Amino acid sequence: MYLIVGLGNPGDKYRYTKHNVGFMVLDYFASAHNISINRIKHKAVLGEGLIGEEKVVLAKPQTYMNLSGESVYELVHWYKCDMSRLIVVYDDVDIDIGRIRIRPEGSSGTHNGMKSIIYLLQTDEFPRIRIGIGRQPDFMDLADYVMSRFSNEEIPLIEEAVKNSSLAIEEIVRNGINSAMNRYNREK
């Protein structure tokens, strides 16, 4: 079983903001695999399905970004999920817009949602898919930037990144993280 967590903030106000790209990936993945994300449990909206013979649980924490760890902690313990089978998908300001980076473990960087998850799980040794949203302009506060919407020029790049991230999740489930890193961490 894989637990796949997309990070974002609940509510229509945040739906298409840069910080919600993790939710966007889970919605795309769910649609591609006919999985309904509609049950509320463990401070998240959940969906379950199969990729081949492998069960997947999709989770969109509803705690707001900075408290994402509360939901992920509950989910990991409820499902007795091995850390190697937890995949967290989220935005990253340190990666160029539209690029994705897959890693088997690592620090939280500047991402408060990941800080919360790592703090409560007491480990950073779980796979993650980071989607680049680019660095904020000098005149803009980081919080304002991640809560902003994508520009018309950025939308095609993010749509491609969402699709590739969804394919990378499937690759991890079917063939492992190394295969996904080899396939999707390449330069454009």
Catalytic site positions: 19
SS3 of 96, please?
A: coil
CB 8 within 8 A of CB 21: yes
Convert 39-58 to b/e letters by CB count within 10 Å (16 or more is b): eeebbbbbbebebeeeebbb
Q: Phi and psi (nearest 5°) for 19?
A: -70, -10
CB 164 within 8 A of CB 183: no
Q: Phi and psi (nearest 5°) for 149?
A: -90, 160
CA angle 113, 46, 110 (to 5 degrees): 10
